[in-house]
Amino acid sequence: MQTTFIALVALLGVCSAAVVQHQLIHRESPKFQMMRRGEWGAYVQHKAALRDANPSVYANVPQNVNDFGDFEYLGNITIGTPGQQFLVVLDTGSANLWVPGPSCDGSCKGKTEFDATKSTTFVKNGKAWSIQYGSGNAKGYLGQDTVAFGGKADQQLAVPKTTFGIATHISSDFKNDAAEGILGLAFTSLAVDHVVPPLINAMNQGLLDANLFTVWLEHKGSANDVGGGVFTYGAVDTTNCGPVIAYQPLSSATYWQFVATSFKLGSYTNTKNYQVISDTGTSFLGGPKAVIAGLAQALGATYHSDDDSYYVPCSKNIGTLDITIGGNVYSIQPVNYIVDVGMGDTCVFAAFAFNNFGFGPAWILGDPFIRQYCNIQDMGNQKIGFAPSLQKN
Q: What is the C-alpha separation between 216 and 214, in angstroms, rounded?
A: 6
Give yes or no for residue 151 binding ligand NAG (CB under 6 A).
yes
- Cα gap 239→242, rounded to integer Å: 8
Active site residue 279: yes
**DSSP readout, 154-189?**
S--EEEEEEEEEEEEE--GGGTT-S--EEEE-S-GG
Q: Is the CB of 24 or the CB of 138 nearer to ligand NAG?
A: 24
Q: Is 23 in the site for ligand NAG (CB under 6 A)?
A: yes
Sign of CA dihedral 252, 254, 256, 262: negative
CB of 310 to ligand NAG, least distance (A): 32
Print the binding letters for residues 67-96 with ligand NAG: x by CB under 6 A, - otherwise.
Answer: --------xx--------------------
Contact region with ligand NAG (CB under 6 A), list: 17-25, 97-105, 191-199, 371-379: 17-25
Q: Cα(168)–Cα(153) distance, rounded to whole angstroms?
A: 28
CB of 88 to ligand NAG, least distance (A): 10
- State yes or no: is 307 an active-site residue: no
From residue 348, alpha-carbon distances to 20, 211, 219, 222, 294 in Å are: 35, 37, 16, 13, 16
Select the span of 23-31, 63-71, 186-194, 334-342 touching ligand NAG (CB under 6 A).
23-31
Least distance (Å) from ligand NAG to the CB of residue 220?
A: 13
What's the closest the beta carbon of residue 197 comes to ligand NAG, in angstroms? Answer: 20
Q: Which residue is nearest to ligand NAG (CB)?
A: 76
114 versus 310: smaller Cβ distance to ligand NAG: 114
Catalytic residue among 70, 91, 177, 378: 91
CB 17 to ligand NAG: min, Å: 23
Please report how close the Cβ of residue 114 comes to ligand NAG at its closest, in angstroms.
16
* Spatial distance between the Cα atoms of 263 and 325, rounded to a whole number of angstroms: 10
Site for ligand NAG (CB under 6 A): how many residues?
A: 6
Rounded distance, CA 295 to CA 299, Å? Answer: 6
Helix, strand, coil percentages (3-state) for the chain, rounded to 5, are: 20, 40, 35
Nearer to ligand NAG, 40 or 231 (CB): 231
Query: Given the complex with ligand NAG, which of 23 and 205 has the nearer CB atom?
Result: 23
What is residue 305's three-state secondary structure? coil
How many angstroms separate the CA atoms of 40 and 53, rounded?
A: 20
Are 244 and 385 in contact by the 8 Å Cβ rule? The answer is: yes
Q: Is residue 280 within the footprint of ligand NAG (CB under 6 A)?
A: no
Q: What would the x/- binding string for ligand NAG be over residues 25 to 44, using CB under 6 A? A: x-------------------
Least separation, in Å, of the C-beta of 85 and ligand NAG? 6
**Are 260 and 233 spatial neighbours (Cβ–Cβ below 8 Å)?**
no
Q: Any bridge partners for residue 375, and if so which? A: 215, 386
Query: Is residue 156 part of the contact set for ligand NAG (CB under 6 A)?
Result: no
Distance CA 175, CA 158 (A): 28
Dihedral sign, CA of 134, 135, 140, 143? negative
Residue 75 or residue 198: which is nearer to ligand NAG going by CB?
Answer: 75
Q: Give the nearer residue to ligand NAG in terms of CB position, either 103 or 155.
A: 155
What span, in angstroms and rounded, lies between the C-alpha atoms of 137 and 134?
8
Per CB under 6 A, which of residues 318..347 are in contact with ligand NAG?
none
Catalytic (active-site) positions: 91, 279
The residues of the shown chain that bind ligand NAG, judged by CB under 6 A, are: 23-25, 75-76, 151
